[in-house]
Amino acid sequence: MGNRSGKYIWIALIILFILAWAKKDEISLFLNPQPGVESIKFTGQESVPDSQTKSEPLQFARQETVLEKTPAPASGVQGSVSEKRTIIVSSDEKINIDVFEKVHAAVVNIATTTLSVNFWMQVIPSQGQGTGFIIDKRGYILTNNHVVENAEKIIVTLANGKKLSATPVGRDSASDLAVIKISDETINEVAELGDSNALQVGQKALAIGNPFGLGHTLTTGIISALNRSIMTEDNTQIDDVIQTDTPINPGNSGGPLLNSNGEVIGINTSIFTTSGGYQGIGFAIPINRAKEIAAQLITSGKVARPWLGVTPISVSELSGYLDFGIDHGLLIVQAASGSPADKAGLKGGNRMVIIGRYRLAIGGDIITAIDNTSMSDANDIDRLLLKKKVGDKVNVKIFRDGRLMDIPVTLTEKP
């Protein structure tokens, strides 16, 4: 009996020991009570004794371009020093900001409505968007021809959001330029036109436009190359254009390409892409050419272009079939009757030959140079004439009957 009672006592002691071990933290807290803890309230002020004046509410400092220290309050609170954060604006960022502020008010959004006929002979309206910029306080706006071509309705949205109806003044598909006009009562800002002849590769370039309808978007890049040639949608070749990596997207067409002074140096016109989106290659028409074309469109509604009046073919293309006595130049197949070339005495072909599947008139003069610029491709004449005006005289060097000679030609307006 005694042995059994002893076992029960040991079991009870073991159980009590286990319970005491499990409750050791509570027992320790009971035996060693902590001081009372007051509740803490988080506020925007520092906690100070009642005998002292409370510090001012916590405030966020305005952005500054320098680092400053604010002295402690007069109440004597020590160590209360706040520092204003440093915001650095680089010189490049400053250029971007200044150019946008200077120019954006002169940039406009252009929305057009064109009409087309579907398979069932129903007239279907379609919408288009582009960009333009104000070049004169009389309300003239310069943009791309393809932005407003065939438009039945043109709505211009100014930088302040005001919408105005615009009327076409003139278009030129050969340069992809057009001028439209709005009421001059609302004109406050005009874009400053620069000098595209002074451009250099690597120079900073900025664009302001309305890509995908997102008004007054600024993008930046550089002049990537000069004197590029591009083909328009109607297969017209435009030479001497500016290449830039400044992002240009649908809706940017017709907007200004700018230099670091905020001067317009080009009109954004197209991009090169294999995906349909921007890939770092954009093109702009030089502003110096645009000035001349815009002036003609405003004064007469059209562009008077000079012509020579010849149908040429490169001698190098025929060298494997015929011997002309010279291995370069442009053979005049035909000189149009009454053209500047015809009046100056340039001769076209006088006998026909068959080369492959083609009939060709040969025996005419071979143009080797115009104004000391060598001619080797049929497009060389067009490129040179783009730099000339109606009434200009050019010196045409030709090869005739085994010898070179110079023929002066006065350019007239292309019919």
Is 253 annotated in the active site?
yes
Is 316 annotated in the active site?
no
List pLDDT tens digits, range 138-191: 999 999 998 998 888 999 999 888 899 999 999 998 888 999 999 877 788 899
Q: What is the mean pLDDT of residues 332-339?
A: 91
Higher per-residue pLDDT: 126 or 350: 350
Most confident by average pLDDT, 69-73, 128-132, 279-283 = 128-132
Q: How far apart are CA 262 and CA 95, in angstroms?
A: 9
Q: How far apart are CA 339 and CA 344, in angstroms?
A: 9
pLDDT recorded at residue 222: 92
CATH 2.40.10.120 is the classification of domain 101-300: yes
Q: What is the mean pLDDT of residues 381-405?
A: 89
pLDDT recorded at residue 54: 41
Q: How far apart are CA 400 and CA 397, in angstroms?
A: 10
**Which position among 146, 216, 224, 270 bears the catalytic label?**
146
Domain boundaries, the chain: 101-300, 306-413
Three-class SS state of 325: coil
Q: How far apart are CA 134 and CA 191, in angstroms?
A: 6
The CATH number of the domain covering residues in 306-413: 2.30.42.10
Domains 101-300 and 306-413 share a fold: no
Higher per-residue pLDDT: 244 or 57: 244
**Which position among 175, 224, 253, 339 bears the catalytic label?**
253
Predicted model pTM: 0.69
**Which position among 104, 175, 176, 245 bears the catalytic label?**
176
Is 196 annotated in the active site?
no
Q: Which residues pair with 132 in a beta bridge?
A: 108
What angle do helix axes 24-31 and 2-22 make, rounded to 10 degrees? 70
